[in-house]
Every structure is written in C-alpha cells, then in structure tokens.
Amino acid sequence: MTALACAAAVTAAVLCGATPGNAAPPKNPSDSQLSAAQQAKNKVAAQVGTLSALLVQATSKLQQLTANSQLAEQKYAYAMSQLNDAKQQAVAAQAAITAAQKQLDTAHTALDNFVRNSYISPDESAGPGGLLTATDPNALLERGDYLRFVSDHQLDVMSQLDKASVAKSNADAKAKALVALQTTLTQQAQAAFNAALAARQAQQSQQAELQRQQVSYQKQLDAAKSNLATLQGQRAQYVAYQKEQARIAAEKARQAELARERAAAAAAAAEAAQRAANNNSGGSSSGGGGAVTVDNPSPGSQGGWTLAKGQAAVARALTTLGTPYAWAGGGYNGPTFGVNSPGTDGWDDSQVFGYDCSGLAMFAWASQGLYLAHYAATQYSQAGSYHPSAGNFEPGDLLFWGLPGQADIHHVAIYIGNGNVIQAPNSGSVVQITPWDQVSGDYYGATRPLT
C-alpha cells in the first residue's frame, strides 16, 4: 500500500471513530414547564411557612396555657391546704362548743344545787334569820344575807355561767365562719382550674388541627419539590448532553485536521523518496519524521441560710427520687394522696401517693425549720429575700418558672448542684433530676431560702 493510500485509510478511520453514539438524547422540559413547577412549589412552600408560623404561635400559646393549668393546680393545692386547716379549726371549734355547753350545764346545775341547799339547810354563817324567813328560792336570791353568803364563800357560779355562755357563743360563730370559708375556697379553686383546663383543651384541639393541615401541605410541598427536581434534573441532563455533543464535534474536527496534517506529511515523504529513487544517485538518503502526540494534563451566707442547710434540704429531697407525681400532693411530713384533676393526666391522682412541685419543696425545707405554703407563687417570696442570678445558684435554692409576673409562677424545683435540679414535673411522671435550663422555657427566677 502506498503512503497516499495509508494516509487515506488513517483519515477514514479517524472520521469513523469520532462519530457520536447512537443513543437518543434525554428529554428536555420546556421553560414554561419549569416555571410552572417552580411557582407551584413556591405557593405550597408559602402555605407551609404560614402554617409553621401559626403552629409555632399555637405551641407557644399551649405552653402558656399549660403553665396556666399548672398555676391553677397550685392555687387549688393552696386552697385545699387552707381548707384542711379550716376543717381542723372547725373540729377544734366544735370541741370548744361541746366543752362550753358542758361547762354551761355544770354551772346551771351548781347554781340550782346551791340555791336549793341554801333554802333547805341554810349555813349558820349566812344568817339563820334571813335564810329561814325566805318564802322561796327567788326571795332568797334577793336577800342581802344571801349575797354576803356568796361573797364569804367565794362562790363565782354566776361568773362561770357567764364565761361559759360567751365561750359557746364565740365557738358557734367561729364554726359558722369556717364553714363559709371552706365553701368559698373550694368554689374559687375549682372555678380557676376549670377555666384553665377548658382553655388548654381548646388550644390542644386547635394545635392538632394546625398539625393536620401542616402534614397535608407538607405532602403537597414534597410532591411539588419532587416534580420540580425531576424537571430540573432533566434540563441539567439535556444541557450536559449538549455540551458533550459539542465536545465530541470539536474533537472530531481536531482529529480530522490532525489526520490531514499526517496525510500531507506522509505524501510529502513519499514524494521525496520517489524523487530520490528517480535520481539513482547510488547513495542513500534517509528522512525522519516524528509522531504527532497530544500531551494529557496531569491529575492533580445571708440571714439564717447556710450552705450546710441547703445541702441538708437537698439530701432530704433526694430521698424522694422515683416517687410518683400526685396532683396537689405532698407536704411537710412527706408524700400524700393527690387530688383528681379531670380532663388531664391527673384524672385519677387521688389514688396516687406522692408529691407535686411545691409539695416537694415543702418537704425538703421543713427539715430545716422552714414551713412553706403549698403554692409555688407564694414560695418565691415566702422562702427568702435573696434571689440569686443564673450561674450563682447554691444547693437548696428554689428555682421558679412562670411569665410574666410572680402571680403567674406555676412550677418550682430544687437546685442540687452541677447545673441540675430535682423536681416533680407532672402527673404520670416521678420525682427526677433534670438540667435546670431544660425544665421549661419560661424561667422566672430563684430564691435562696432562709435569707
């Protein structure tokens, strides 16, 4: 084969080898399809964003309503403790009434016996003439010698009678007042709890509906995102396909040009050899040619407080770990049965023997002679006057949650050290240790007891 034939063969091979593959081009979505998919995705995303904002607001409101129901529970617990005190006072008042009535009856009997005995068997020192001449006991009582007799013998029967009458009257009045107080406290506490519970349940229902809508719109958003991503992927594949086709065409042209250059060089060399042969010079000539290469790139201590007292209160609180939460339960002497809280997790807490948050604080600090009310809001100022800032807590400090004011405090826990508190969280749970900054999002402040 001549050099020209070889060059022609090389050119044909290069041209044939540079032909693009026969695979069909990928699908190319139109600009209008991409725009419509983007708008659909943006619309649903806006709806999801709106629902997310509403859900955040609903969650925040639910947290506040939960705090309100906890506050109502604290008020109820406080009212129940006052009611219990009132009942104990009523029992004491009834005992006083009974004692006063008994004393009154005794005084009446003593007076009757004295008058009768004086009339029947007068004492000589009373003046026999006056006693014997009295026509009846009433006349006897009007006689001066009778009065002297009472004075001489230091008899204060009438005085005892008056005192007994006054005592009975006072006891009756106190008992009536306590009964009225019992009724008022119970009604007020129940009304506060019912209102908080109704608001919380309504908010829970609203939040559930928002969550349902959000799930539905989130599914639509996911579908819209998937559709947009599919179209964008198809467009990206098509653009990449076009770039590859352009690269192949450019490579084809480069290889064709290279083949032409090689063919021309081969033809020139063949022609020179032919001329040399025709000259028949008897000599030899040689010609050299180098292969054409393409380089590839290389890869290339205040008040009565002491630390010991705070640690002692913590030690007592730690003995309650694992004790069940009981709605309005617990006190100075330990756990008690709770109170039923209809419509909440505490619906059967009258059968639970344990503590609520303020009951646990009462038990812990009673060991150090501090007797707190069964009410977290009251405990904030009642426990002490020094309120340490976050980062300056000491063991035994009481930490409170509730916004915006002290009257809205709904929860209390006891700081035990190392950033942790011991607390009775809610019905269905138990007394437990928790990082103080993870108890609730509405931290109010702290109090150092006995300061």
| Residue 401 contacts residue 444 (beta carbons within 8 Å) | yes
pLDDT of res. 411: 97
Select the highest-mean-pLDDT range: 56-65, 115-124, 167-176, 355-364: 355-364
Sign of the alpha-carbon torsion through 44, 50, 56, 59: negative
CATH class of 34-221: mainly alpha
Mean of pLDDT values over 308-337: 97
pTM: 0.53
Least confident of 281-295, 310-324, 326-340: 281-295
Mean of pLDDT values over 344-364: 94
Which DSSP state fits 299?
A: P
pLDDT band at 7 (very low <50, low <70, confident <90, very high): very low
CATH of domain 307-447: 3.90.1720.10
Q: What would the pLDDT profile of 233-251 be if each residue is shown by its tens digit?
A: 888 888 888 888 888 888 8
pLDDT band at 279 (very low <50, low <70, confident <90, very high): low
Q: Which residue has the higher pLDDT, 181 or 411?
A: 411
The mean of the pLDDT values for the chain is 79
Q: 149: Cβ–Cβ under 8 A, 6 or more apart, which residues?
A: 118, 123, 125, 126, 127
Cα 164 off chain centre by = 57
Mean of pLDDT values over 431-437: 96
Residue 18 has pLDDT above 80, yes or no: no
Q: 275: Cβ–Cβ under 8 A, 6 or more apart, which residues?
A: none
Instruction: Calculate what percentage of the chain has a pLDDT beyond 90.
Output: 29
Buried b (16+ CB within 10 A) or exposed e, 330-340: bbeebbbebbe
Residue 172 has pLDDT above 60, yes or no: yes
Mean of pLDDT values over 415-443: 96
Q: Which helix (H) or strand (E) holds 157?
A: helix 157-279
pLDDT band at 417 (very low <50, low <70, confident <90, very high): very high
Residue 284 has pLDDT above 50, yes or no: no
Per domain, the residue ranges of the chain are: 34-221, 307-447
Residue 325 CB burial class (10 angstroms; 0-12, 13-18, ≥19): buried
pLDDT band at 96 (very low <50, low <70, confident <90, very high): confident
pLDDT of res. 290: 35
Q: Dig out the tokens for 272 from the structure.
A: 């020179």
Please tell me the distance from the alpha carbon of residue 384 to that of residue 301, in angstroms, as a whole number.
Answer: 12
pLDDT band at 276 (very low <50, low <70, confident <90, very high): low
pLDDT of res. 376: 96
Within 10 angstroms of residue 126's Cβ, the number of other Cβ atoms is 20
First to last CA, the chain: 114
Degrees to nearest 5, angle at CA 120 with 116 and 124: 110
